[in-house]
Amino acid sequence: MNHQLENKRALVTGGSRGIGAAIVKRLAREGAHVALTYVSNPDQADETVQAAQALGVKALAIQADSADAEALVAAVEQTARELGGIDILVNNAGIAKIAPLDGYRLEDLDRTLAVNVRAVFVATQAAVRHMQTGGRVITIGSCNAERVPFTGGGVYAMSKAALVGLVKGLARDLGPRGITINNIQPGPVDTDMNPATGDFARMLIQQVLALPRYATGDEIASLVAYLAGPEAGYVTGASLSIDGGFTA
């Protein structure tokens, strides 16, 4: 690693496991000090923190449900206080409730929008108050914003499609301040929540993906590291697919 993020201060929401943990570790390998939020598994969060600290950076875990706006803002403020500021925000926390239209509960719709959409706005609004020129906001969306080749994914797709418009609009707000904001749209990623085995994964690999495999969390984290770094200074308002041809 070239430590292109040396001494930058980052917050990754939902950073204790899966894609989020891979992002935390990649930012740490690049030299950034990192805070992460988690909801219910302190041991897993502590394991990710220790992995980051082993790379020679400061790291901390903060319990905060992204559906709770007050808790999320408090997490941003704690990050800025303990790390001395915020240079990078990665809005990674997200949920996926898949169910057919006739059986979809309104409480699941409300929580999906609270975590996948409202929390992105809340965290961004709070974090950019601490950012200087060169600040970076990166949101983890989904390829399902553009294509949903299965039933029951309408609400999830809606929540991720909303991020495309939000990022475009906020790019106009943040550009004059020298802060970029971008949206990453991963395809299927091999995690404990979405394993690359089983009937559903087999269907995607055989019928949908141009590259016949799932991505790794590290591959998604590599695009985050690029957008967080100095070489991406002229990229803003973009939604970048890293989906193995899911939307091709």
Which residues belong to the active site? 156
Angle 140-144-145 (CA atoms, 0-180°, nearest 5)? 75
Bridge pairing between strands 180-186 and 136-140: parallel
Q: What DSSP line would sit under 52-84, residue for residue? A: HHTTTS-EEEEE--TT-HHHHHHHHHHHHHHHT
Tokens of 172: 């106009």
Q: Answer whether 85's CB lies under 8 Å from 35's CB.
A: no
Structure-token match 């039933």, residue found: 151
Amino acid at 227: L
Tokens of 210: 């141009």
